[in-house]
């Protein structure tokens, strides 16, 4: 299938699609559209974010909707308000030339009464978030007993956001005789369970391999000391003057601090995190969509539903622990047939996490050298010259001022004039990067012999701690980082690898803060438990670890060891 016309879709829909600039179907559209036009079987479709999934299900659904009936015939569920609105707007654009097609958009955080009024007018397609959809079903305001299509868009994201119970309830409320379409970027076990439980004899379509990254994305990483992370970020931003991207941080606190530091340093940046009100969030996101902002610093949760097609870069200020999260992040660039770059800033102790991401991604992540001051100045200089060269001159506007300008600069010849102009525009960078230090760590990442591991541990300067609480007390990496920040009263401690078990956990922090951690965790409580943090030391021969406590004199195996000594 080379064109949309060949699909057999209503010419009025094709006309609207053509006006939107769509010339030929994407791989997922090419596979999905003919299937949904010809078959009534349930379908699981796997494709990366930004590959055109909305049109893949939206066009064939519109083609089969009965505009004469005011009953809801299709329900589309999405994880966030932003994505819900985006899907709704896209489908409205596709149906521009269809008469009597009404689409209701329902989501939390907005007036339920207004949405109920919209439903009361009648709609053929409802697009909503799981929580609000379930609420309106229970209130008998949204009737889905006659739907022909149920779409779960970004199903893996909905599960990640904790919507499993709501999804189960909505799916259980839907009629058996319907076509269920599950669209997802990855295929975790939970998605497979939902498919097996609620879908009948379903087929599976995949545009690319399961759980792998988008094809148009170039994956890179920069290796430096943890304390230099922000300096490395600045160099990357300075070496890409026209960057339009998202910087992902692990916590909302990191997000705010990184954004604040970038703004202080003169970058066109803003933060997007969970502490913002909906009005503030909408304001920031609208500025970013319109490219009034160049850099958005965000957490994964806050960025969900942000649908932007022209991102040049995604930067992982902290690499995520879950490779699936990395795949979602990187899938936000390289969309709509364009290329993009995913960059990770890491230190030595994170190399193993990088290997896990490569394995899930199915691609090699290439190491890049942190740009030198000279390289950055060259990039900035040539970018400036390009802008000058492409600047349109409005002679009518500047003509009144030109005689004075000519007179003032008449003593300069052509070469001197260019030098003065470049210096005036460029002195800040030349001054800042004069004698700039090398921020690279020079070591072989693939060298895994014992001496190399010891050397890496020393160079990274990280200390591993044991703590006596774990997942049983709802401890998560984000909560642990929050405890470290709260108990120490410091926000600039670099945290490395975190391993959380059922009743205990390990975490790494910058070795310079050893005493601060030990002091901060004395006499504190978490969920009713007296918390203790101890330095974890390597145990010889066995490879197991022990806490900083003295070893028992009794022989191993004769008596049950203390749990801390067993696993620390």
| pLDDT for residue 83 | 84
Q: Is 182 helix (H, G, I), strand (E, B) or coil?
A: strand
> In the structure, what pLDDT confidence band is assigned to residue 492 with cuts at 50, 70 and 90?
low
Residue that wins the pLDDT comparison between 403 and 549: 403
- Token pair, residue 408, equals 């003032």
Residues 84 and 112 in one domain: yes
- Is 80 exceeded by the pLDDT of residue 487? yes
The answer as to whether 469 is a domain residue is yes
pLDDT at residue 255 above 70?
Answer: yes
In a domain, 449, yes or no: no
The answer to whether residues 473 and 336 belong to one domain is: no
What percent of the chain is predicted at pLDDT more than 70? 87
Range 544-551 average pLDDT: 39
Task: State residue 14's pLDDT score.
Answer: 92
Mean pLDDT of all residues in 508-519: 86
**Residue 524 in this model has a pLDDT that exceeds 80:** yes
The beta-strand segments (E) located in 35-142 are 43-46, 74-77, 103-106, 125-128
Phi-psi region of 334 (alpha: psi -120 to 50; beta: other; left: phi over 0): left
Which CATH number is 510's domain given? 3.30.70.330
SS3 for 52? coil
Supply the DSSP symbol for 468: S
- The pLDDT tens digits of the residues spanning 339-368 come to 899 999 998 778 888 888 998 888 889 999
- CA distances to 57, 176, 411, 416 from 83, in Å: 15, 27, 59, 54
**430 or 458, greater pLDDT:** 430
The dihedral of CA 557, 559, 563, 568: what is its sign? negative
User: CB of 156 within 8 A of CB of 188?
Assistant: yes
Listed range (6-20, 239-253, 432-446) with the worst mean pLDDT: 432-446
Mean pLDDT of the chain: 82
Per-residue pLDDT reduced to its tens digit, 368-404 = 999 888 888 888 888 878 887 888 888 888 888 989 9
**Span 168-206, pLDDT tens digits:** 899 889 998 899 999 887 777 777 887 888 888 888 888
pLDDT band at 337 (very low <50, low <70, confident <90, very high): low
Whether residues 368 and 286 fall in one domain: yes
DSSP letter for 289, please: H
Report yes or no on 455 lying in a domain: no
| Domain final residue pick, 173, 206, 239 | 206
* Cα–Cα dist 412/478, whole Å: 60
* Alpha carbons 80 and 166: distance in angstroms, whole number: 14
Put residue 485 in one of left, alpha, beta given phi > 0 → left and psi -120 to 50 → alpha.
alpha
- Looking at the structure, do residues 344 and 413 belong to the same domain, yes or no? no
Whether residues 39 and 187 share a domain: the answer is yes
84, part of any domain: yes
Would 409 be classed as within a structural domain? yes
Give the domain range for residue 404. 374-432
- The yes-or-no verdict on residue 489 having pLDDT over 90 is no
Residue ranges of E strands in 503-562: 505-510, 524-526, 529-531, 533-535, 537-538, 545-546
pLDDT band at 106 (very low <50, low <70, confident <90, very high): very high
Residues of the chain with pLDDT > 90: what percent?
31
Contact between 238 and 375 (Cβ < 8 Å): no
Task: Mark whether 185 and 281 lie in a shared domain.
Answer: no
Q: Which of 205, 242, 233, 212 is nearest to 331 (CA)?
A: 212
Per DSSP, the residues of 270-281 read EEE-TTS-HHHH
Together in a domain, 40 and 144:
yes
Lowest mean pLDDT among 277-286, 310-319, 473-482, 551-560: 551-560
Average of per-residue pLDDT across 4-11? 85
Structural domain ending residue among the three candidates 163, 180, 206: 206
In a domain, 440, yes or no: no
**Could you report the per-residue pLDDT of 438-483, keeping only the tens digit for each?**
888 875 444 444 444 444 444 447 889 999 999 888 888 888 888 8
Q: Domain total for the chain?
A: 4
Which pLDDT value is given to residue 454?
Answer: 42
* pLDDT band, residue 209 (cuts 50/70/90): low
Q: Which of 1-15, 133-147, 192-206, 435-449 has the highest mean pLDDT?
A: 133-147
pLDDT at 128: 94
What pLDDT, on the 0 to 100 scale, is given for residue 443?
A: 56
Looking at residue 305, what is its pLDDT?
A: 61
> Is 529 in contact with 468 (CB distance < 8 Å)?
yes
Give me the CATH number covering residue 121: 3.40.50.300
Mean pLDDT of the region 395-420:
87
Whether residue 139 is found in the same domain as residue 235? no
On whether both 482 and 418 belong to a single domain, the answer is no
Residue 447 lies in a domain: no
Question: Last residue of a domain, which of 164, 181, 206?
Answer: 206
Looking at the structure, tell me whether residues 192 and 227 fall in a common domain.
Answer: no
Same domain? 157 vs 89? yes
pLDDT score, position 49: 66
Residue 211 domain-assigned (yes or no): no
Q: Is the pLDDT of residue 303 over 50?
A: yes
Q: Is the pLDDT of residue 523 over 60?
A: yes
Express each pLDDT in 69-101 by its tens digit: 889 999 999 988 888 888 999 999 999 999 999
Least confident interval from 93-102, 262-271, 555-564: 555-564
* DSSP-based three-state secondary structure for 430: helix
**Do both 200 and 239 map to the same domain?**
no
d(CA 37, CA 25) in angstroms, rounded, equals 15
DSSP 8-state assignment for residue 348: G
């Amino acid at each position: 299938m080379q064109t949309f016309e060949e699909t057999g879709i209503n010419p009025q829909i094709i006309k609207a699609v053509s006006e939107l600039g769509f010339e030929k179907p994407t791989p997922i559209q090419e596979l999905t559209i003919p299937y949904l036009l010809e078959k009534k079987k349930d379908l699981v479709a796997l494709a990366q974010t930004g590959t055109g999934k909305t049109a893949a299900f939206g066009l064939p659904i519109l083609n089969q909707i009965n505009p004469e009936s005011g009953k809801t015939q299709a329900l589309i569920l999405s994880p966030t308000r932003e994505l819900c609105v985006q899907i709704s707007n896209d489908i409205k654009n596709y149906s521009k030339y269809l008469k009597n097609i009404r689409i209701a958009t329902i989501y939390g955080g907005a007036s339920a009464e207004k949405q109920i009024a919209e439903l009361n007018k009648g709609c053929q397609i409802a697009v909503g978030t799981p929580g609000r959809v379930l609420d309106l079903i229970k209130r008998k305001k949204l009737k889905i007993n006659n739907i022909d299509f149920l779409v779960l868009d970004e199903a893996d994201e909905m599960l990640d956001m904790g919507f499993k119970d709501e999804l189960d309830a909505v799916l259980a409320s839907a009629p058996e005789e319907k076509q269920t379409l599950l669209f997802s970027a990855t295929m975790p076990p939970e998605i497979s369970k939902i498919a097996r439980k609620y879908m009948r004899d379903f087929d599976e379509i995949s545009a690319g391999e399961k759980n792998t990254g988008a094809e148009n994305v170039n994956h890179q990483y920069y290796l430096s000391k943890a304390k230099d992370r922000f300096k490395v970020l600045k160099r990357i931003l300075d070496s890409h003057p026209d960057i339009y991207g998202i910087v992902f941080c692990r916590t909302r606190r990191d997000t705010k601090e990184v954004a604040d530091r970038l703004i202080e340093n003169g970058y066109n940046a803003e933060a997007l995190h969970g502490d913002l009100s909906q009005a503030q969030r909408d304001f920031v996101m609208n500025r970013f969509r319109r490219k009034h902002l160049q850099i958005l610093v965000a957490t994964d949760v806050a960025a969900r539903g942000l649908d932007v097609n022209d991102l040049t870069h995604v930067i992982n200020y902290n690499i995520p622990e879950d490779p699936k999260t990395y795949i979602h992040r990187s899938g936000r660039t390289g969309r709509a047939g364009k290329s993009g770059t995913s960059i990770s800033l890491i230190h030595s102790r994170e190399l193993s996490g990088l290997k896990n991401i490569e394995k899930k991604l199915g691609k090699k992540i290439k190491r890049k050298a942190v740009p030198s001051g000279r390289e950055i100045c060259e990039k900035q200089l040539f970018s400036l010259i390009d802008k000058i060269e492409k600047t349109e001159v409005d002679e009518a506007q500047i003509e009144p001022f030109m005689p004075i300008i000519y007179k003032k600069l008449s003593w300069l010849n052509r070469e001197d004039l260019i030098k003065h102009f470049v210096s005036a525009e460029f002195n800040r960078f030349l001054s800042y990067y004069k004698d700039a230090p090398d921020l690279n760590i020079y070591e072989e990442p693939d060298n895994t012999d014992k001496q190399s591991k010891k050397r890496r541990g020393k160079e990274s300067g990280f200390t591993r701690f044991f703590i006596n609480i774990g997942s049983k007390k709802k401890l998560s990496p984000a909560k642990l980082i929050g405890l470290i920040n709260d108990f120490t009263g410091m926000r600039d401690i670099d945290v490395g690898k975190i391993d959380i078990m059922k009743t205990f956990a390990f975490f790494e922090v910058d070795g310079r803060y050893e005493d601060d951690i030990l002091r901060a965790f004395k006499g504190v409580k978490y969920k009713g438990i007296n918390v203790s943090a101890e330095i974890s030391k390597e145990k010889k021969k066995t490879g197991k670890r022990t806490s900083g406590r003295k070893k028992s004199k009794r022989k191993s195996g004769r008596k049950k060891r203390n749990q801390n000594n067993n696993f620390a």
